[in-house]
């Protein structure tokens, strides 16, 4: 499939709200829009990956379809949409095997996803899906979900708002004329885009790669602004990271400078209010995805004492962050033992709590807090 570019014609003074990588977390998206007091007067932009990894992929697509029918909503295609459409629409040799294998893998790995949601709604269990009935099953999906599939197939690759370009993975140039009609895949799945050295005259806004993977000193899920290079990366790891959140940019105007862009986030964690102050402390180690192997040493009260294999550093981590990898060794999912800098009255999104303290976020920055708290509930 070829690169398609769509214009966003915003009016002067019209607000633009931008998120990415919703991954089927419809409640997070709805609550985030509520925080931002979204209305039909605003433009809403989603920079790819509406579906999969989260609990409500099909409902998310339908919600956006309905919203698009009565408001200005622009969605750039993500690599997840691209792949799921290929699975659904591919009729080349071996497509039945690929479809069946993927559905069974996704069910065991994530439990939910767009295709799984469709099958479930039709009353087809994963156990019933076999290679020899895949063709008939896919035809049922094409017929029953023709409008949803067509909606996703029509998504553009790049959204052009003049001084700002929105693309899921990243592009090598802001010369849109040279990109029109090129193979779209490389712009949808452009891993580690921010570290490839690109600079732009327009500002390129991307999702796809969680911002926490770009930051090597501390666990930080806030949108990442590269002012000199004119790039903004906004994927907060919603649905992918144990501590993930859904980030949104707030443009007061289509011609706003990067410095004038605000942001907000939403996650699904309970919120507490800090009663005591606490000085911040840098982590002894920030364990990230590409160097995450550990040795388990002991466990108590939901915490595991583990040795990071490549550095030899020993630290305690919540057991919820440990998982057994395909290599049959233990890994830790993006974790830092930093201390949060806390002022009395600060609100903390709590990811993990035991009698010693709580591990959570203040404005997207992760760490431990060991002071007193009062229960707040969840962000509405």
* All domains in the chain, ordered by first residue: 5-78+155-266 (3.60.21.10), 82-151 (no CATH), 270-378 (no CATH)
**How confident is the model at residue 326, as a pLDDT?**
83
Q: Which of 181, 330, 180, 238 is nearest to 22 (CA)?
A: 238
Residue 114: the pLDDT is 97
Contact 236, 269 (CB under 8 A): no
Contact of 249 with 223, CB cutoff 8 Å? yes
Q: What are the b/e assignments for 107-138, b being 16+ CB within 10 Å? A: beebebbbbbbbbeeeebeeeebeeeebeebb
Burial of 105: CB neighbours in 10 Å, binned 0-12, 13-18, 19+: exposed
d(Cα 179, Cα 207) in Å, to the nearest integer? 19
Both tokens of 147, joined, read 């409008």
Give the per-residue pLDDT at 378.
59
Question: What confidence score (pLDDT) does residue 379 get?
Answer: 59
DSSP state of 127: G
Closest listed residue to residue 254, CA positions, set 43, 40, 19, 34: 43
The pLDDT value recorded for residue 372 is 95
**Cα 259 from chain centroid (whole Å):** 23
* Residues of the chain where predicted confidence (pLDDT) is lower than 50: none
């Amino acid at each position: 499939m070829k690169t398609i570019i769509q214009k966003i014609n915003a009016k002067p003074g019209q607000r633009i709200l931008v998120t990415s990588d919703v991954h089927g977390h419809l409640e997070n998206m709805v609550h985030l829009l509520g925080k931002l007091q979204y209305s039909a007067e605003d433009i809403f932009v989603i920079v790819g990956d509406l579906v999969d990894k989260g609990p409500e992929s099909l409902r998310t697509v339908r919600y956006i379809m309905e919203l698009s029918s009565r408001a200005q909503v622009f969605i750039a295609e993500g690599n997840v949409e691209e792949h799921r459409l290929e699975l659904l629409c591919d009729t080349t040799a071996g497509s039945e095997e690929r479809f069946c294998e993927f559905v069974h893998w996704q069910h065991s790995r994530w439990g939910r996803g767009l295709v799984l949601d469709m099958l479930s709604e039709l009353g087809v269990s994963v156990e019933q899906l076999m290679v020899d009935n895949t063709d008939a099953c896919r035809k049922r999906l094409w017929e029953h979900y023709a409008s949803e599939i067509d909606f996703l197939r029509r998504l553009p690759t790049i959204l052009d708002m003049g001084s700002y370009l929105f693309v899921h993975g990243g592009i090598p140039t802001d010369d849109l004329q040279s990109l029109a009609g090129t193979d779209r895949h490389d712009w949808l799945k452009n891993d580690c885009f921010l570290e490839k050295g690109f600079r732009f005259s327009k500002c390129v806004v991307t999702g796809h790669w969680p911002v926490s993977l770009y930051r090597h000193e501390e666990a930080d899920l806030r949108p990442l602004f590269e002012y000199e290079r004119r790039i903004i990366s906004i994927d907060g790891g919603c649905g992918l990271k144990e501590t993930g959140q859904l980030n949104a940019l707030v443009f007061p105007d289509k011609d706003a400078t990067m410095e004038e862009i605000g942001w907000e986030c939403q996650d699904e964690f309970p919120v507490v209010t800090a009663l005591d102050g606490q000085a911040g402390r840098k982590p002894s180690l920030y364990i990230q995805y590409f160097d995450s192997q550990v040795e388990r040493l002991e466990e108590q009260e939901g915490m595991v004492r583990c040795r990071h294999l490549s550095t030899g550093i020993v630290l305690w981590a919540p057991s919820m962050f440990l998982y057994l990898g395909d290599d049959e060794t233990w890994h830790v999912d993006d974790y830092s033992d930093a201390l949060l800098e806390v002022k009395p009255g600060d609100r903390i999104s709590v990811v993990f709590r035991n009698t010693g303290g709580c591990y959570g976020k203040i404005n997207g920055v992760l760490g431990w807090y060991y002071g007193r708290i009062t229960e707040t509930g969840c962000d509405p």
